[in-house]
Structure 1
């Protein structure tokens, strides 16, 4: 007796395969979130490559650059405020960069673990009435120094900032240098990066929001460290 030919069922046709055929897996929310995060990281890197430098009248020039590197350690991702009634420096350089947080940092948020910063390098600096504070959530860790006759001094000082303001004056300033050719503070940035440098810099009413500070020598006369209900 001849067997009946195989007839595809209504739910299992070439146009409509059944459960045995592979189907396209739907995109999960986690995959979408990961794609968005990678997109934000790419956009942040592109910003460093594309943002031109801007000179703000009557304040310190804030320069962003085209691919500079920030500090060479992983930042906490917690910004801190620095103020001084006056900063005087010899050998000044400034260019932009990216600082990176430790992998998996809880402070990364939607930044992708990176912060776009302005790097300011000063060969030798003095600061009057220095104040530094970091918001710990409900309280502030406050450091003050140089409030007496002896000022704070620093050599090979570098700060990575997202905000900087004050009344600034420069001597023999050069704007538009390639960062790889800087000579005033002993720091060289990557080739092709927009930068500026000057023989001297003076900033009255200095205020910075920083993510990192480094120095070869940092002397803090009259240092006081304490918790406070308010910052600088």
Structure 2
């Protein structure tokens, strides 16, 4: 029997499938990447967050300012947008929950254990960020539109030549990058009891 549109199980399967497609495409070179690292006005988000953890992030050319992530139904989420021209991430972990009715499901991606994962023109739209950070030549209180022409003029922004974050933990809405190279990539769909404790944090 065909599922009805309002069947919550079908909705969850769709979210699971939508999560799996870009994850599978990541194998080789790009993780949730795009052709350009610049923010795109037509990006719509799923409404589902994902977690990222790294032992250490080293970045050159850091910029941060506020923005909005929108779902297809028009729901808006205020986010902090961080741009990094080039980044190295050590012992990277990414996880997404995609539970089905009565069945826990967690997708995990790990990389950068022996050599760091690297990204160019990285942009992250996040809800939260934790860690111990240090900045080189930081400038706080800049006009955001000077950091990215698509940002709201007159809104708050900051930048620095370099950024280092130890013990990075963040909850994100989306990530884009011109290139994202994942050394030692390991992708796994953890189902049922295997999903217990598999989120990055």
TM range (shorter): 0.7 to 0.9
**Structure 1 segment 213-224 matched on structure 2, within 5 A:** 213-224=175-186
Identify, as 1 or 2, the structure richer in strand.
2
- Which of 157, 162, 166 aligns to 2:127? It is 162
CA contact (8 A) 1:70 1:98 kept: no
**Structure 1 segment 193-232 matched on structure 2, within 5 A:** 193-228=155-190, 229=195, 230-232=198-200
* Count of residue correspondences: 151
* Secondary structure of 2:145 counterpart: helix
Query: Residue deviations 1:129-182, cap 9 Å, x none?
Result: 00000011111010001111x110000000000010000000000000001112
**Structure 1 segment 31-46 matched on structure 2, within 5 A:** none
TM-score, length of structure 1 as denominator length: 0.63
Partner of 2:18: none
* Secondary structure of 1:231 counterpart: coil
Cα separation, partners in 2 of 1:84 and 1:144, compared to 1, 3 Å: same
Partner of 1:27: none
**Structure 1 segment 1-232 matched on structure 2, within 5 A:** 72-103=42-73, 113-137=75-99, 138-148=104-114, 150-182=115-147, 187-188=148-149, 189-228=151-190, 229=195, 230-232=198-200
TM-score, length of structure 2 as denominator length: 0.72
* Secondary structure of 1:180 counterpart: helix
Separation in 2 of the partners of 1:102 and 1:151?
A: 35
User: What are structure 1's unaligned runs of at least 5 residues?
Assistant: 1-68, 104-111
Q: Which has the higher contact order (CA 8 A, sep 6+)?
A: 2
* Secondary structure of 1:77 counterpart: coil
